[in-house]
Amino acid sequence: MVTLKQYKCFFIQQTEATPQTDSLRACVTHQYPPDQLYQVTETHLAVDNINITVFEGDVVGVIMKKDPNGNRERWVVDNGGCQLMITYNLHNE
């Protein structure tokens, strides 16, 4: 599993965003190969309806390393509960 070092993320309008459950994490890890799995290292709350809230420790599967418009700074990901976009800035240490 690759660790997502640092990124920005904004989400779906929901009243109570909660960390990923063990069952959702299991769904994601079984559905995607290891090179498409990223572990979130910092919590980010989304502010619109096309992005996804993610929490530190969540695991996401990458569906596409670009958004539908071809922007490679926004990835389409699956957190087991929904499939939306995150904006990221990946830094290697």
Whether 17 is in a domain gets the answer yes
Whether 47 is in a domain gets the answer yes
Whether 93 is in a domain gets the answer no
Whether 46 is in a domain gets the answer yes
Count of domains for the chain: 1
**pTM score of the predicted model:** 0.73
pLDDT for residue 15: 42
Whether 15 is in a domain gets the answer yes
Cα–Cα distance list, 7 to 21, 22, 23, 30, 56 (Å): 21, 23, 24, 24, 11
pLDDT for residue 8: 38
pLDDT for residue 9: 39
Whether 21 is in a domain gets the answer yes
Range of the domain at 49: 2-88
CATH code, domain with 54 = 2.30.30.40
Are 65 and 75 in contact, with CB atoms under 8 Å apart? yes
Whether 7 is in a domain gets the answer yes
